[in-house]
Amino acid sequence: MRYVNFKVILLVMLIFNISFAYGQTSSIEEVKKLINNGKFYEAETLLIKSVKVGDIKAIRFYSICLIKGKFFNKNLPKGLSVLKEGAKFNDAISAFTLGNFFSNGVYLKPNYERANFFYNIAFNNGMKKAKINIDRIATKLIEKEKYEEKNQFVKVPKKIKPKYYPPKQKYILGVTSKVPSWKEDYLDWDKVTGFGSAFAISNNGKFVTNEHVVNKCKKIFIKYKEKYKVANLIFKVKKEDIAVIDIKASTPSFFGFRKENIKLGQELISGGYPLPTQLDYDIKITTGIVSSSGKNRISKKHGGEFQHTTPTQPGNSGGPLISRSGQVIGMTKSILRKTKEHVPQNVNFAVAGTSIKNYLKKYNISYYLNEDTNKYDFENLAARLEQTAAQVICY
């Protein structure tokens, strides 16, 4: 009898040591039981709770399920968010996997700065093979810097002196591939109710979007340079469909506005995040022209807006429309929908940049006038949009 009791004591001590080593016992076995019994909702709820407290086994299991669509709906962004939680808890495998996602370009467009960040976490937590990838990424980063320097992607010509409000503050106008160093906020994808687009207007975290994108949000997130951050509403104006939100963190890439009024037939390029659940979560780039200056639509009812031919889908709302010189011309707003009388073809509306500037000035929010007269190719402008436009995610 004493022998049995002694074995029990040893077993209890072993369990205690395992729990102490990992901080807590894993919930995976309970999760698997729930899945085997067809209780997928309960299993996912338990996994989400386990992820938040740093259960590494749960993090690895849940991320694989989401990425491969096993047991639960396939959701790559959600899977990456779970892996990021693992990296925060210094799990080398989670960090290494993220490094692979951001470097290999299979599911995401390569982002070597982000890949390098996660490979270093993996290496610093004991994964020696991550050093090989760190060295490989270093070569890629050097090549990227040379390309950007050659194409004048980072700097605006020195002769340009951007105007801004208030006049005493000074900022450098431009677009950069630099990844912000701020810590991401956890995004619970099960609470997401809607999506939209936005764009940075300064280096201090201010974004412009549509009022209708955020008007029903209980909580707002911004995805900027593949990083998620909680945003606060600064102001919104329903009539002109304008809102400004702030993430209280640095935004190294941002756009300046065009000084002159829009011109009929002017070329446009847009960046936004339409239909993310049906297409994918990457930015979409489209082109068009100003098809109507909107002079007859500038009224008490419509405010300052114009018509354009840039293809627009749900989720594009709040995205920037820029000129061939990289200046903000306006912001995507809405489309003309099918009626009983006719089927409209590519009839889209945008909030005019002049209207946005008026409200930024009214609320004493800094903005910039980009007076660059050079015309850039669409590849260069698409790269600027990718670095500066953002996705709005609502709870």
Q: Is the pTM of this model over 0.75?
A: no
Same domain, 272 and 347: yes
Q: Is 28 part of a structural domain of the chain?
A: yes
Q: Is 375 part of a structural domain of the chain?
A: yes
Give 96-124 pLDDT, tens digit per residue: 888 888 877 666 677 777 777 888 888 88
Q: Is 288 part of a structural domain of the chain?
A: yes
Same domain, 242 and 318: no
Same domain, 55 and 99: yes
Taken as a whole, the chain contains a residue count of 395
Q: Is 334 part of a structural domain of the chain?
A: yes
**Range list of β-strands (E), 296-367:** 305-308, 320-322, 328-335, 348-352
Same domain, 318 and 195: no
Same domain, 40 and 134: yes
Supply the CATH number for residue 119's domain.
1.25.40.10
| Nearest by Cα to 82 from 54, 112, 51, 110 | 51
Same domain, 379 and 288: yes
Give 218-227 pLDDT, tens digit per residue: 999 999 988 8
Q: Is 136 part of a structural domain of the chain?
A: yes
Q: Which domain holds residue 240?
A: 168-246
Q: Specify whether the CB–CB gap between 285 and 385 falls below 8 A.
A: yes
Give 162-212 pLDDT, tens digit per residue: 444 443 333 335 678 788 888 888 888 888 898 999 999 988 899 999 999
Same domain, 44 and 93: yes
Same domain, 7 and 131: yes
Q: Is 221 part of a structural domain of the chain?
A: yes
Name the domain count of the chain. 3
Tell me the C-alpha distance between 26 and 259, whole Å: 59
65 has a pLDDT exceeding 70: yes
Same domain, 231 and 273: no
Give 66-102 pLDDT, tens digit per residue: 888 888 888 888 888 888 888 888 888 888 888 888 8
Tell me the C-alpha distance between 9 and 187, whole Å: 42
Give 370-392 pLDDT, tens digit per residue: 888 888 888 889 989 999 999 99
